[in-house]
Structure 1
C-alpha cells in the first residue's frame, strides 16, 4: 500500500477505476445487480479507466486527470439521475437537448441522492494523494499505451463469441431481466456507441420480413374488433392528459378525505368506462411517449426518443383516421413551449391541424419550479378560447388533446392554492407522498371547468372524453414512500395510470390489466374507425378473451396472469416494441398511409 501511495500514475488510474465501479454499484442498487456477475463488466471498466488516464500519463500532468475525472463525474451522476426516472441511461440524441433542463430544474435537483456525493469525494481524494505522491511519473508512456491498447483489443475479442458488441448489447436491451445491464457492463460510452450504431441501421430484407411477419401474426392472434352492431359510435374525442397521474389516487381516501372527489363522481357515472389497472408503458420520452402510444398505437423506441430522432416519420394516428373518415379537425393544447420534446414538429407529423402552446396563454397563475401556467388557469383559458373562436374546430367533427403540467415532479403547490379542507398530516406520511396527493387533489378540482363545458355543448352526445395520466408519477420515490407503514395500502407498488372514458358507447368497469398501447385500438373502435389501415400494436380492451397482460417499457416485466395465454401470443406481445422501433426508424408505414388516403 505504501508503494502504491507513492506512485502518482497508479493513484490516478485507481481513482478513475474506483469512480467507474462506484457508478456500477449505485446504478445496480437502483436496478439489478445481475450485471456484476458478467466478466465483461470488469474488463470494459478497466479499459475505460486505462483509456481515460492515458492523457495524464502522456502529459505528466495531475490537473489533466482531475479535469477528466470531474467531467466524468458530471456524466455519470447525470445518467444516474436520469435512470432514477427513466430506468435507462441518457439517449445519445438527448445530449443535444440540455437546454430544456432549464424548464425542469426542480425535477433535476429532486433526482439527486446522497450516494452521488461519492463521485466528487473520489476525485478530491485522488487529487490529494496524487499531488503528495513521491514517485511522481515512474511509468513508461509507451508501456502504458501498449497495455491500454491490449486491454481494448481483449475487450473487443471477448465479444466475438457473443456475436459482437452490438448484438450482445441488443440482446441485453431486449431482455426482461437484463435490460438495464448494458450501461454498467459496457459503461456509458458503450451505451452511446450502441445508440449511434442503432441510429445508423439500414432497412434490410430481414427487418422487412420480421415486421411483416409480426403484423400478420398480430392480426391472427390479437385481431382488431369493432363495436358490436347496434352500439352507437362517437364522432368526437377529447383527451385530457394529466401530468404524472396514477390510478391509486382515484376513489381513495386519506385521513377520511377523498383525494379526487370530482374524478370519483365521473367514474361513478353510468356512462363511464373505467379501467384502473392500465400499465404505464412510456420509456425515456415520458410525456411525449404517451402521445405516441395513445395517438399512434406505437410503442416507444428502444434507445431514442422518437420525437427528437425521427420527427419526420409518417406516424399513423387517430387524428388522421378521423380526418379521412369524416373530415375532422384536430388540435392539441399545452402550456409548454413548442420546442419541449419537439412538440410542434411531432404534432404536425401525427396529423394535428394546430398546436396551441405557451405563447397563446396569459400567464396569470403559475405552479412549479420553474413556474408554468397552472392547470386551473390553463383549463379555464382553454374553455374561454373554445367559447370565443372554437379553436378552429367549429362546424367539424374534432379531436382535442389537453396536456396539463402542474402535476410534474416535485409536486409543490403554492400554499395559497391549497384546499384548506384537504390538509394532510406530514407527521404521518412521507413529504413526497403528501405533496403528490395534494397536487392531485388540486388538479382534480380544476377538471370540472373543462369537463362540464363539454357536457354543456349540444354535440356532447357524440363526444367522448378520455381522462388519463400521461405516465406514473412517483418513479424512484415509490420505494422510499412504501417503506412508510402509513403509505402502504394507499400508494400502489405498481406503475399504473387510469383509463377513464366519459360518455363511452360501452360503459362499465373492469379490474383487468391493460397497457397504454391498448388505448389506441379501443378508441379507434369507439369512434367507428375500423376501416383505417393501422389498427395499432395493442388490442381493443372490450375484445372478449383478449390477453389481459401488458409489458413495461422500462423494466420489460409482464403485468398480468400469463398462465392461460398461448406462448405465441405472449411472444407477439414481447416482440412488439422491437417491431415498433423498426417501423419508426425506417418510416415503414408511410406508403400504407398514402395508399389509405
Structure 2
C-alpha cells in the first residue's frame, strides 16, 4: 500500500485533487459568477476536473523524476494564470483574454493599481505548490527512471476529454447556445471553467482575426439596413443650433452618477457639478439615466463609442487591436463637413492604449500628451498628471487652437486606486474599511474642484460662451468586488439589478444660445452621443453607420445595451439572464414577447457592431459625397520640442509665460 501511495500516479492524483479544490475555492471566493440552481453549482465544481486531467496529465509522458517536476511546473503555471485572473477580476469584474494580453504597452502604467488589488491572504493560493514540492522530495526516491507505460497517460488524457464532453453537454442543456452567444464571459467560466475559457478565447481570437481577410462589400449591407431602420429624426428645434461652435468634451475618469448630490460627513462631495445639474438658469441639460457601455477597454472603449457610435469589442480593446481600421469618426466628419480642428489633451504617455496610432485613424489633428506638460514629481500621482495642473497647463494650447475646434479633455486623478496627496484632500475619506471606496470620494472632490477651476479659466479666456460643453463619465469606478462597502455607502443591498443601475455615469451638455432642459430622464448611453452631437451641428446622422440615436429626438430608442448582452430600459431590465421589473425590483418570471424580441435585437446589434470592427467593414462604405477616407499619413503627433519649432519660438515663449503666470497666480492665492 505504501508503495502505491508513493508512485508517480499517486503524486499526479494528489496534484489533481489540490488543483481541483483550489480552483473551485477561488471560483467561490473571488468571482461573482451568478450561480443559481443545483446544475450550475455542480458544473462550477465539476469543470476544473477536465482541465486538470488534460494539462497536468501531460507531465506523465515525462521520464522518471522529470514527471514529478513537470507536474509541479504545470500546476504552478495554471495557478499563476488563475491568480492573474483573480487580480484582474478584482477591478474589472472580467477575465483576461488574448486581446487584453496584447495590450502589454499599458502594463507599465498599472503598477500601483495591480499592487493595491493584491491581498495578504493571496499567499494561501500558492499552498498547493508548497505541498507538492514537499511531497515530491519525500516520494521521488521511490520512483524509477523508466517512463510510465504510455497507456496510463493516454488513459488520463482520454478521461479528461470525456469529462469535458460531459461538462459541455450538461452546460448546453442548462444554457442553450452557450458557445454561440458569448457576450458574457462569466457564463463561459461558470459553465466551462477558467482554463477551458482560455482555449475557447484563443479560438475566437483567431476567428475574429480572419474576418477582415474574408470580408467584402456585401457584408456592410446588413449593417447599413439595420442602422437605417433604427435612425431617429432630429429634434427640429435643435438641429443645427450649434453649427460652428467650439466643442469642449470633458472626460470624468471613473465617475459614477451616484456621486451627484451625494453627501459624505454632511458635505456635498461634488458641489460644483451639483450646481450645474441644479442651476436655475438651466444652462446645462443633465441626463440622469445615462449609462456607460464599456467592456475590457474601459476608457479606450468610452472614447471609441462616443466618437464612432460603435460598441467596443467583447474582448480586449479596439484601440489596441483595430487601430488600423477604417473609421468614420466625429473628428474626421467635423473636419470635412465644417472645418473643425480636433485635439485630445491627456497627461499621460502618448502610446498608452495605442492612442498615438488609433487617433490618426479617427482623424484627430493634434494630441497633447505628457511631453507637453510639467510632469515633475509634485504634479504627478498614480496614472499621470494631476487634474488641476492638467487643466491649467492645457489652457494656452486650447486658446491657440484654430477655431472652430473639437477638444477632448481627459482627466486622470480620479482613477483606481484613488490616490491623493494629503494636503490636496479637502474632504475626509469614507469609513467603510475598504480603502478604494473610502478614497473614491476624496479624488472625486479633487476632480470637482479642478473642473470648477477650468470653467473659470474658460470664461476668463473668452471660450466658455461660444462653446458647446459636454461632460461625461467614462466607466464605473467601484466594481462589484466592493459590494459590502457600497452597501454602507448607498444604504441598500447590491443585487445584480442594483449593480446594473449603478452603471449610470454623468452626461451633461451646454449649447450656446439654447436653454438647457435641467434634468432629462431619457434612458440613453455613450452610443447615443455621436448622432446627438451631429444633429446639434446640423449634420444628418442618417448618412453614417451609427448604432445610437439622438437623445433629444422624439424617436430616440430608450433601451441601453451593455457589452455583455444585458440591457436596461425605463420599465424593465435584463441582467445575468433574468428580466427584472425596475419599479418593484422583482424578477419577471414570464417575460412578454416584446421583452424577448428586444433581447434578440440587442444581441443582433452587438453582433453587427462586432462585424464592423472585426471585418473592418467601413472601408467598403461611403456615407455621402462629402466623405474622404482618412489618410493616417496626414497626421503626426510630435514631441513638444518638435511641435514648437524655431519658427514658433515666439508662440512658445507666449505659452510658457501664460503657464508661469498661472502658476504665480496660484502661488499668490495660496
| Common fold: TM-score over 0.5 | yes
Per the alignment, residue 491 of structure 2 pairs with 488
* Distance in 1 of aligned mates of 2:67 and 2:90: 35
Whole-Å Cα distance in 2 between the matches of residues 201 and 553 of structure 1? 22
Alpha-carbon shift at residue 316 of structure 1 (Å): 1.6
SS at match of 1:202: helix
CA deviation profile, 1:74-97 (whole Å, cap 9, x unmatched) = 221112222233333222143244
Aligned-pair distance for 1:532? 6.8
CA distance in 2, matches of 1:162, 1:415: 51
The CA RMSD measured in Å over matched residues stands at 3.5
Map residues 533-548 of structure 1 onto 2, 5 A cutoff: 533-544=543-554, 546-548=556-558
State the partner residue of 1:30: 32
**Correspondence 1:326 to 2:332:** no
Cα deviation 1:380-439 (Å, max 9, x = unaligned): 10013334xx1xx32x321101111111111021101112xx22463x664332200010
Cα gap change, 1:430 to 1:66, in 2 (>3 Å): closer
Higher mean Cα deviation, 267-276 or 182-191? 182-191
Residues 1:75 and 2:81 are matched in the alignment: yes
1:411 aligns with 2:423: no
1:54 and 2:60 correspond: yes
Post-superposition Cα deviations, 1:253-297, rounded to whole Å, max 9, x if no partner, equal 112211111111222231201012222211111110000111111
Q: Which whole-Å deviations, capped at 9, do the CAs of 1:348-388 have from their partners, x for residues lacking one?
A: 1111012111111112465776462111111110013334x
User: Which of 539-548 and 326-335 deviates more?
Assistant: 539-548
Q: Could you say which residue in structure 1 is the equivalent of 2:524?
A: 514
> Which one of the candidate residues 193, 196, 210 is aligned to 2:205?
196
**Structure 2: gaps (5+ residues):** 573-591, 629-670
SS in 1 for 2:47: helix
- Contact 2:344 2:408 (C-alpha < 8 Å) held by counterparts: yes
Residue 190 to residue 316, structure 1, CA distance change in 2 (3 Å): same
Q: Measure, in 2, the Cα distance between the counterparts of 1:208 and 1:151.
A: 46
- How far does the alpha carbon of each residue in 1:178-232 deviate from its partner, in whole angstroms, 9 at most, with x for none? 2654661653531442343333333699997775335423422x32322314762
| 1:275 aligned counterpart, secondary structure | strand
Query: Which residue is equivalent to 1:402?
Result: 409
Distance 1:162 1:417 in 2: 52
Q: Please give the secondary structure, in 1, of the residue aligned with 2:110.
A: helix
Task: Please tell me whether the aligned partners of residues 33 and 186 of structure 2 are also in contact (alpha carbons under 8 angstroms).
Answer: no
Q: Which moved more, 1:55-64 or 1:440-449?
A: 55-64
Q: Quick check: 2:544–2:623 contact (8 Å CA) kept in 1?
A: no
Determine the C-alpha separation between the residues in 2 that align with 1:567 and 1:506.
39
Distance in 2, Cα, partners of 1:531 & 1:172: 30
TM-score, with structure 1 as normaliser: 0.87
Cα separation, partners in 2 of 1:450 and 1:54, compared to 1, 3 Å: farther
1:275-424 matched pairs, under 5 angstroms? 275-364=287-376, 366=378, 370=382, 372-387=384-399, 390=400, 393-394=401-402, 396-419=403-426, 422-424=427-429
SS at match of 2:344: strand
Partner of 2:607: 578
Cα distance in structure 2, aligned partners of 1:262 and 1:315: 36
Q: What is the deviation of 1:560? A: 4.0
1:434 corresponding residue in structure 2 = 438
In the alignment, which residue of structure 2 is the partner of 1:450?
454
Alignment of 1:103-118 (within 5 A): 103-113=109-119, 116-118=122-124
Q: Tell me the secondary structure at the aligned position of residue 506 of structure 2.
A: strand
Cα pair 1:260 1:444 within 8 Å, conserved: yes
Residue of structure 1 aligned with 2:479, choices 475, 479, 502 = 475
Aligned pairs, number: 584
Whether 1:187 aligns to 2:196 is yes
Separation in 1, partners of 2:336, 2:182: 38
| Secondary structure of 1:276 counterpart | strand
SS of equivalent residue, structure 1 residue 315: coil
- 1:16–1:49: 8 Å Cα contact kept in structure 2? no
Q: How does 1:157-168 map to 2 (within 5 A)?
A: none
Range moving further from structure 2, 32-41 or 237-246: 32-41
CA distance in 2 between counterparts of 1:554 and 1:526 reads 30
Does structure 2 conserve the Cα–Cα contact (< 8 Å) formed by 1:282 and 1:553? yes
Mapped to 2, the partners of 1:569 and 1:449 lie a distance apart of 44
Matched with 2:250 is 240
CA distance in structure 2 between the partners assigned to 1:32 and 1:552 by the alignment: 17
State whether residues 244 and 473 of structure 1, in contact with CA within 8 Å, keep that contact through their aligned partners in structure 2.
yes
Task: Give distance in 2, aligned partners of 1:559 and 1:365.
Answer: 46
1:514-555 deviation digits (Å, cap 9, x = unpaired): 222122222222222215732521111222253422122257
Which of the residues 100, 121, 125 maps onto 1:119? 125
Equivalent pair of 1:368/1:412 in contact (CA under 8 Å): no
Could you report, residue by residue, the CA deviation over 1:562-588 in whole angstroms, capped at 9, with x for unpaired residues? Answer: 479675555333322221111011110
Which residue is 1:11 aligned to?
A: 11
Q: Which residue of 2 aligns with 1:527?
A: 537
> Are the equivalent residues in 2 in contact too, given 1:335–1:361 (CA < 8 A)?
yes
1:462-505 Cα deviation digits (max 9, x unpaired): 42111111111011343121343x54269974122110112364
CA distance in 1, matches of 2:274, 2:4: 66
TM-score between the two structures when normalised by the length of structure 2: 0.78
The answer as to whether partners of 2:224 and 2:545 remain within 8 angstroms in 1 is no
Whether the 8 Å contact between 1:252 and 1:490 is mirrored in structure 2 is no
344-353 or 271-280, larger mean C-alpha shift:
271-280
CA distance in 1, matches of 2:616, 2:510: 34
In 2, Cα distance between equivalents of 1:105 and 1:4: 47
